[in-house]
Amino acid sequence: MSISLDDFKKVEIKAGKILSAEKIPDTDKLLKLSVDMGEESPRQIISGISAYFPDCSVLVGKKCMFVANLEPRTIRGYESNGMLFALSTPDGKFSLLEPSDDIPAGTVAV
């Protein structure tokens, strides 16, 4: 499915720094992330990447790219205020989309 350039321009993509990460109890995939996106307070983001991070503490301090302007969504009783960008393949390869170290949290993609 194709979208117009005008529709794509509506998506706000920001760099965010993961401040904390914890597994959501009684789920196989979900992590609750606290993310600094250069705003007044951190955002809570729920992401289905737990299988790739058995020790989710390795995510703390990582800068990743996020969709910042999605409508909030409640997932298993937790509000999510954005979406983490990541890639996975059918054979289990996985990658976060990470900006260069010198890109500060809150930087908007152009």
**Backbone phi, then psi, for 38, in 5-degree steps?**
75, 20
Q: How many CA atoms lie within 13 A of 8 on its CB side?
A: 7
Here the tokens at position 82 are: 């954005």
Cβ atoms 18, 84 nearer than 8 A: no
CATH, domain range 14-96: 2.40.50.140
The model's confidence at residue 110, banded by pLDDT at 50, 70 and 90, is: confident
Residue range 36-81, pLDDT digits in tens: 999 999 999 999 999 999 999 999 999 999 999 999 999 999 999 9
Residue range 89-103, pLDDT digits in tens: 999 899 999 999 999
Domain boundaries, the chain: 14-96
Helix (H, G, I), strand (E, B) or coil at 76: coil
The helix (run of H) or strand (run of E) holding residue 6 is helix 5-8
Global confidence as pTM: 0.94
Tell me, what amino acid is at 106?
G
